[in-house]
A and B are shown apart, each in its own frame.
Chain A
Amino acid sequence: MRRMDRNRPSRRKVLQAAGAVAGTGALALLPLRSARATPETMRDAVHAAIGEATVQKGKVKLDLPPLVENGNSVPCTVTVQSPMTATDYVKAIHIFNEKNPQPNVISVKLGPRAGQAKFSTRIRLADTQTVTAIAEMSDGSCWSDDIYVIVTLAACVEEPKP
């Protein structure tokens, strides 16, 4: 009994520790919450990238795993249906998200020299969210695809290794 009592932390120590944990938690969350993208900021980012063009569904295929275990590195492929000739090609492809701190993910520029409108990269996802890919064609039309991704371990919020 006596030994157990000696090892047990005092009530004061427990409360102090709890306070410290709550304090650092709040500190870490504050800047993140204010810096988070929303569907509105995503709309603004889309507007900044493609202007007034109306976006239609189709022609674009965005490949992402539907269930992501680690949001720090998510393989991502975009394929756009296009003959990629000198007169009919894909000008640019943009990827947007709605819940990372910033709505933009990557923007690529390509042209008829590409031969095939397709690229792959690895991206970060901070939360379960919808990711959108928009392709700009040489005739000015825009096509899109979106995918809802469930993220179990989020990027951006983890503490760096000491």
Chain B
Amino acid sequence: MIGRALIHVPASAKHGEVIEIKALISHVMETGYRIGITGQPIPRDIINDFVCTYNGEEVFRAKFYPAVAANPFMSFYTVATESGTIAMSWTDQHGETQVQTAPITVG
């Protein structure tokens, strides 16, 4: 199950400025390689895809494998081109998606 997401996007930026975006989401990222207390392997449960779009255009995408730590954190960059919305979405292996958006003013 995907938990709460926390994103950080600067509220305003100059045109053409390279801005840092940070995203954190609460998720177990169970690897599927651990043995539970009953002796049975704990089934895998991971987020596979992370996508960041800027006014609908994809600017960054990541594919996660079980080697990404629990509560995946991502920090990356993009160029502030225009005012609008930066959206981030996480999709887990069951197809469940969580979207978080932040507005940005470019002047």
Number of A-B residue pairs having CB atoms within 8 Å of each other in the complex: 114
Query: Given contacts A113-B54, A160-B37, is CB(A121)–CB(B65) below 8 Å?
Result: no
Report A-chain residues with C-beta under 8 Å of the C-beta of B72: 121-122
Would A101 and B79 be within 8 Å (CB), given that A106-B63, A116-B18 are in contact? no
Interface of B is mostly: strand
Q: Is B102 an interface residue (CB 8 A)?
A: no
A124 proximity list for chain B (CB < 8 A) = 31, 66-69
A113–B59 Cα distance when bound, in Å, is: 6
Query: Which of the segments A5-13, A24-32, A59-67, A143-151 contacts the partner chain?
Result: A24-32
- What is the number of residues of chain B that contact chain A, defined by CB distance less than 8 Å? 34
Contact B60 A123 (CB under 8 A): no
Indicate which residue in A110, A120, A123, A159 contacts B59 across the interface (CB closer than 8 Å).
A110
- Please measure, in the bound complex, the distance between the C-alpha atom of A160 and the C-alpha atom of B36, giving whole angstroms: 6
Contact yes or no, A113 B65, CB < 8 A: no
Q: How far is the CB of A150 from chain B (nearest CB, A)?
A: 17
Please state if B75 and A123 are interface contacts (CB–CB under 8 Å).
no
> Closest CB of chain B to A27's CB: distance in Å?
7
The 3 closest A-B CB pairs, nearest first, are A115-B18, A115-B79, A122-B69
Q: Which residues of B contact A (CB under 8 A)?
A: 18-19, 31, 33-37, 39, 41-42, 54, 57, 59-70, 72-79, 81
Task: Please name 13 pairs of A and B residues whose Cβ atoms are closer than 8 Å in the assembled complex, sorted by A.
Answer: A74-B69, A100-B67, A101-B33, A106-B68, A110-B60, A114-B59, A119-B60, A120-B74, A120-B75, A122-B72, A125-B67, A157-B34, A160-B34
